[in-house]
Chains A and B, each alone.
Chain A
């Protein structure tokens, strides 16, 4: 079996078979990590460029490590947006990289749509490592992998995504991916953290964290960006924590109910 997609731009249009294949393949690679030599030749001879226009050391290192363990040759191109905006254009940068005969580009960018644009100007396979607040499919695949690893399935599970959905890039990917795999997806956040017409994706909305915990099998808790949110989308971190925080107390209520 092989993948139907050439690029991984988002999970919006990825089929159930493809997601299943990715998760199953990940399971076999997971075992590699238990070996003394944590390296397999799967991507030997493949050149991958990690094109990071946003500071995200953690994401970049994760990709780099995965690429190296699969024996790919990797190149890192990281730049802050300000320096990229000056000087050579994004298109010039990609053309220069393209000239190096590469097979794959992993891209992280502040602007939604950049991975799609790359497919039009490059022959390489494009992996979206996060574009604006659009999609972050690999993170969502990892989230789904973790859920499956713990609970053994995705089909029929009730998953609630908690936090700043508006500014999140993993929320959409999780919604699309989980729904494709047969899970029921809901969101829990104050209305200021929900993007316009998010209900169009058939997700239930909670504003009560206790209710969200009680009615779901899994919580996927997003990070709150303090600098940005406090005072504008939420009154304070304290208030957010009190009303939407997934605290030990909130979880305990659920555990007590189960037993």
Chain B
């Protein structure tokens, strides 16, 4: 089958590509860029993408798909549907499932579930058995099965010595450890510690809990020569620590979620648990530091930390409600509205943060917009104004604080693995 993406703006910073052209895709392969004949037009399904942007398929390197274990909140398929609807053609899913992704069986189980889906689902293996921080998980076995990185997400790797050994061991594969940075002795609060937590009377987590672990991890990575990726960075001092480490040539990268570059702890004054996450929403100063970090490259990518929870769980009393919010279906719109349209990032920089860099960090090939390549693409309308409606989410859960928010810019279509998702339907192309 042939399709033509007509008059679309092609952007791929990885290829220095920035031009408007027509693209012919046949059986999922890019066959022509420009020089499309009348005959091609007659035989193909033509999509008029004038004013739209076509980029290498977006990639979210931090999602929770809850399968196996909590299929009532999300499955590999519903999560992948949400990803496609949000403009993503690839994700990396965290291992805090039940059972944990700490064996080849679980990696294979997830990959099998995602096999026929448009979205590439890459499991992240646990660093330690059952994420308990005691014994190393079978890292070689997990890499062989297809794990693209390692993390005990939900918590940091428990001890510096285990982290050191995991980093040493991973040098064999040049894959990173993704760290949820939080000093466990200071953990356990329900929000950020500061003026607002004192006013609201909620137990709180100080930013220094994050800073300490970021600094520990950088020191260990420096000593070992391994790669650390800081997940969902949220504190100003942590960003500064990463900035300084990068300047010294230490192999550290970082990601930020849309809620951490956008919202502050002031949002919690209604005790709405859709604003409860870990790391917690910080202060305006931290939010500004996230934007600065994105601008100067200290923060390499944007990731959602997509964390589905049932309504019943989220409606619990605030201190009992679980941490985390959905992100896949609002992330691109939030990033375009808040970063691109507010002139913090160019569209090229955004493509780096949402498509190129996460793949680089995970050592995955970057989709090329070139003749002969597999079409792995996201088509974006940067100017479409739309309202978030949780009822229309493809995710099985609804826990988002962004319901009813007006956004500018969204994904129009995604293409990958000879499949296309557009206007709410998947089809073979």
Q: Which residues of A contact B (CB under 8 A)?
A: 12, 53, 85, 89-91, 109-114, 116-117, 131-135, 169, 172, 195-198, 200
Contact = CB atoms under 8 A, between A and B. Distances in A.
A111 B195 contact: no
Interface stretch (B123-131, B198-206, B386-394): B198-206
The 10 closest A-B pairs by CB, nearest first: A134-B201, A113-B271, A111-B317, A112-B201, A111-B319, A195-B198, A197-B195, A133-B201, A113-B318, A112-B202
A91 B315 contact: yes
A48 to B, nearest CB: 21
Contacts of A132: 201-203, 319
B320 A112 contact: no
B201 A90 contact: no
27 contacts: A53-B317, A85-B316, A90-B316, A110-B317, A110-B319, A111-B317, A111-B319, A112-B202, A112-B271, A112-B319, A113-B202, A114-B317, A114-B318, A116-B271, A117-B318, A132-B202, A133-B201, A134-B202, A135-B201, A172-B201, A195-B198, A196-B194, A196-B197, A196-B198, A197-B194, A197-B198, A200-B198
Contacts of A131: 201
Centre residue among B194, B197, B270, B318 by max chain A CB count within 10 A: B318
A89 B319 contact: no
Contact of B271 (A12, A117, A197, A198): A117
A144 to B, nearest CB: 19
B312 interface: yes
Contact of A116 (B204, B270, B316): B270
A121 B67 CA distance: 33
Interface string B311-333: 01001111110000000000000
A112 B318 contact: yes
B208 to A, nearest CB: 11
B193 interface: yes
Contact of A90 (B194, B202, B206, B317): B317
Given A111-B320, A172-B199, 5 more contacts: A85-B320, A109-B317, A117-B317, A195-B197, A196-B204
Contacts of A197: 194-195, 198
Given A90-B315, A112-B318, A113-B271, A169 B193 contact: no
Contacts of A91: 315
Centre residue among A116, A133, A196 by max chain B CB count within 10 A: A196
A114 B317 CA distance: 6
Contacts of A135: 201
A80 to B, nearest CB: 13
A116 B270 CA distance: 8
Contacts of B202: 112-113, 132-134
Contacts of A133: 201-203
Contacts of B198: 195-198, 200
Interface string B256-275: 00000000000000110000
Contacts of B318: 111-114, 117
Nearest to B268: A113
Interface in B216-254: none
A195 B202 CA distance: 10
Centre residue among B198, B200, B270, B320 by max chain A CB count within 10 A: B198
A85 B315 CA distance: 12
A192 to B, nearest CB: 13
A89 B320 CA distance: 11
Contacts of B203: 132-133
Contacts of A117: 271, 317-318
